[in-house]
Structure 1
Amino acid sequence: MTEAPTAPAPTQSPGPHLTIEPNILYFGTPVVLLSTENADGTANLAPMSSAWALGRTVVLGLGAAGQTAVNLAQRPDLVINLPGPALWRAVERLAPLTGRDPVPAAKAGQFRYEPAKFAAAGLTPAPAELVRPPRVAECPLQLEARAGRVRPAQDESFVIVEADVLRVHAAAELVVPGTDHVDPARWQPLIYNFRHYFGLGAELGHTFRSETAS
């Protein structure tokens, strides 16, 4: 007689749940630094944490009052730079800065105008190949892109950007030798988790579609 397969043990319940109304829903997303071009040809650099990718499209959620949203509505080129955990202090140096002058009412009191964002963060601009804004040299992953669609969110306090990735730059030590694959055991994104910065822990496993599983 053939034995029936053993069912996997159920996972443990996390316990009672509470109904809450949090002010923010940054429930663990990668930080990106967006390079865009100002009207005078200089570069703006802004941190953000509302980004996700599908295929060669990256969707970004940006505050409508920020300089990045203004730039992308007029000049669609951008670079999506992904910092590692070691760069969190540089990201935080950018956090209270805005490229808008005067400072928008929505940011008044918490933000200050700073035109030289790269210098203020201690980061280095590097030329891009297909777009006008610079890459961030210290970021291990850099995606040159172009905004194909910029539209306001329902309450108009945010804009939603659909950016088409044109070229990907990856630090050599992150690439599986002889392939175009990023090694997930080596790449560590900087995670923004309810307004706190984190790296990743140890690998738990991989999906059946992984192309880099050992």
Structure 2
Amino acid sequence: MHRTVRPRVLYFGTPVVLVSTANGDGSANLAPVSSVWWVGQSCMVGLDETSRTTENLARTGECVLNLPSSGLVTAVDRLALLTGSPVVPEHKQRKGYRYEPDKFGAAGLTPLASETVGPPRVAECPVHLEAVVDRMHPFAEEDSGVIAVDARIVRAHVEEDLLVPDRPGHIDADRWDPLLMKFCEFYGDSRNLHPSRLARGWDMPLRRT
């Protein structure tokens, strides 16, 4: 039997992406995002309109979409309640966010130079997608505070072990174990992987054990 409900969020399961962008002073920002979907060689990313990532994308039009494997869950979780904005918006303060200028250092991740865009890649991620912004526009209901970013992939880097032998450009789905977010919790290999700071910040119900 089905029951009519109104879920607080509709995060049924999407891959986590670490979006790297360039700050105004030339340093790098790094933000975990799970509101993203793909079609062809483009994607749409949903972002808080007040975030440093949104600000950087509007200014530079460039980013790298780094896809972590499930093995990077602890590093990603370290970023969950950090913001690159020196002035933390009130709605983020309520969730426990704090300002952190060195996101790479805080996560224990390594910046790696990109080839076609300014922001660095994340060396530990098995997939790096260098991208340029085609369009930015409000998303969802009026005053949602969410911006949709349409980005086009201009160069892809994939860990060699994930590629199908003798089939350049083909990724072996059996070898690719992406880090997923389902209802603010981290999943990979069909199981919950790690307690989530984000779930606590969003006051999500505790998982049943």
In the TM superposition, 1:1-214 aligns within 5 A as: 16-109=1-94, 110-153=96-139, 154-156=141-143, 157-179=145-167, 180-201=169-190
Match of 2:207 in 1: none
Contact 1:65 1:106 in 2 (8 A): no
State the distance in 2 between where 1:123 and 1:196 align. 21
**TM-score of the aligned structures, taking structure 2 as reference length:** 0.87
Given residue 177 of structure 1, which amino acid in structure 2 is its aligned partner? P
**TM-score of the aligned structures, taking structure 1 as reference length:** 0.85
Given residue 161 of structure 1, which amino acid in structure 2 is its aligned partner? V
- The CA RMSD over aligned residues, in Å, is 1.3
Contact 1:79 1:143 in 2 (8 A): yes
State the distance in 1 between where 2:156 and 2:129 align. 5
Q: Post-superposition shift, 1:155?
A: 2.6
Given residue 129 of structure 2, which amino acid in structure 1 is its aligned partner? L
State the distance in 1 between where 2:48 and 2:34 align. 11
Given residue 196 of structure 1, which amino acid in structure 2 is its aligned partner? E
The runs of 5 or more residues in structure 2 that have no matched partner are: 191-209
Tell me which stretches of 4 or more aligned residues in structure 1 moved more than 6 Å: none
Given residue 164 of structure 2, which amino acid in structure 1 is its aligned partner? V
State the distance in 1 between where 2:108 and 2:155 align. 25
Q: Post-superposition shift, 1:151?
A: 1.1
Identity %: 48
State the distance in 2 between where 1:192 and 1:39 align. 30
Given residue 69 of structure 2, which amino acid in structure 1 is its aligned partner? G
State the distance in 2 between where 1:89 and 1:67 align. 22
- Structure 1 residues 25-58: Cα deviation after superposition (integer angstroms, max 9, x where no partner): 1111100000001111111000010111100001
Q: Size of the alignment, in residue pairs?
A: 187
